[in-house]
Amino acid sequence: MKNTILNGHLSALFCIIIWSTTYISSKVLLQTFLPVEILVIRFLIGLLVLMIICPKRLEFQGKKELYYIGAGFFGIFIYYQMDNIALLYTMASNLGVIMSIAPFFTAILTQIFYPEEKSFDKPFVIGFLFAITGIALISFNGAKLSINPKGDLLAVLGAFAWAVYSVLFKKINSFGHATILDTKRCNFYGFLFMIPLFFLEDGQMHAESFTDPVILGNFLYLSVLASAVCFVAWNYATRVVGVMTTSIYIYLGPIVTIAASYLILHEPITKLMLLGTVLTLIGLVLSEYSEYIIKYKKYIDN
């Protein structure tokens, strides 16, 4: 049991490490492709990879199929479409901060639909405030705050869509199927929602562009690792450690980004970034262990 829980935490951490660098790939591809083109090609390749890894097909689930459709719509189509379009109108730093409110939205929805979990407590809120302050310091690092209403609003909608996906997948986990089968089904529906938009925006596959190793490499990174592997790993994590615990790992995204920039690109880490990292980690601990903090406080009071 302990190994399973540890694997769940490691899976969530692995996903955050990969997802924290996908903005770079998306920025590169947006120079050649439309946002919807990136989505369609990315998830098409991702689906093919999942089908190769696991050819088994999940049977039609009747009314339960609505949960898969909803998860595909919000977590695959809406989230990634908002994410890609937002990058056209706002700074990546804005997007990084705004997307970090996803755990807050997840806590609210979990409290509404699963009130027995008591996810929205005082330590969690305090932890969120610490984390979002730290993430803001990391992301802007002393730069002038730039408000881009259109892009920032799209990013907020994306964060909310991810929270809806998280809560829906919590229900899907209760159906008892293999995680990879559930993931394939959700990704399939998300891909279907992309197709009409692809044709409405006169999308193209740009096959000739794939001779460029930079484009091919970025698409493989987004599709195989960030889409196929990470979605299975993330959904597995939500099953074994819970939707709230998994979502809180989102706070680590900006920290992973600056660590990678330091180690790979040799970019300097400022005092402001270090302060932001400390605040974010404090927020993560407060949010992650809020239940134990409450129990300890009650023990002290008694």
- Measuring CA to CA, which residue among 249, 291, 260, 296 is closest to residue 100? 249
**pLDDT score for 258:** 74
**pLDDT score for 167:** 92
- Percentage of residues in the chain having pLDDT higher than 70: 85
* Gap between the Cα atoms of 187 and 76, Å rounded: 6
Decide: 138 and 83 in contact? Cβ < 8 Å.
Answer: no
**pLDDT score for 172:** 93
Report pLDDT digits (tens) over 46-63. Answer: 999 999 998 988 888 889
Average pLDDT over residues 258-267: 70
User: Does the pLDDT of residue 185 top 80, yes or no?
Assistant: yes
Decide: 125 and 46 in contact? Cβ < 8 Å.
Answer: no
User: Does the pLDDT of residue 239 top 50, yes or no?
Assistant: yes
User: Does the pLDDT of residue 299 top 60, yes or no?
Assistant: no
**pLDDT score for 168:** 94
Average pLDDT over residues 14-34: 83
Q: How confident is the model at residue 277 (pLDDT cuts 50, 70, 90)?
A: confident
Average pLDDT over residues 261-280: 76
Chain position carrying tokens 């992301």: 139
Decide: 87 and 151 in contact? Cβ < 8 Å.
Answer: yes
User: Does the pLDDT of residue 264 top 70, yes or no?
Assistant: no
Identity at 247, one-letter amino acid code? S
Give the chain's mean pLDDT.
82
Tell me the C-alpha to C-alpha distance, in Å, between residue 138 and each of 132, 213, 231, 272, 280.
10, 32, 26, 7, 9
User: Does the pLDDT of residue 226 top 80, yes or no?
Assistant: yes
Q: What is the DSSP string of the chain?
A: -HHHHHHHHHHHHHHHHHHTTHHHHHHHHTTTS-HHHHHHHHHHHHHHHHHHH----PPP-GGGHHHHHHHIIIIIIIHHHHHHHHHHHS-HHHHHHHHTTHHHHHHHHHHHH-GGG--S-HHHHHHHHHHHHHHHHHHHTTPPP---HHHHHHHHHHHHHHHHHHHHHHHHHTT---HHHHHHHHHHHHHHHHHHHHHHTT----GGGGGSHHHHHHHHIIIIIIIIIHHHHHHHHHHHH-HHHHHHGGGGHHHHHHHHHHHHS-----HHHHHHHHHHHHHHHHHHTHHHHHHHHHHHH-
**pLDDT score for 60:** 86
**pLDDT score for 102:** 84
Decide: 58 and 185 in contact? Cβ < 8 Å.
Answer: yes
- Percentage of residues in the chain having pLDDT higher than 90: 29
Q: How confident is the model at residue 181 (pLDDT cuts 50, 70, 90)?
A: very high
Average pLDDT over residues 197-223: 88
pTM of this structure? 0.83
- Measuring CA to CA, which residue among 65, 94, 73, 47 is closest to residue 224? 47
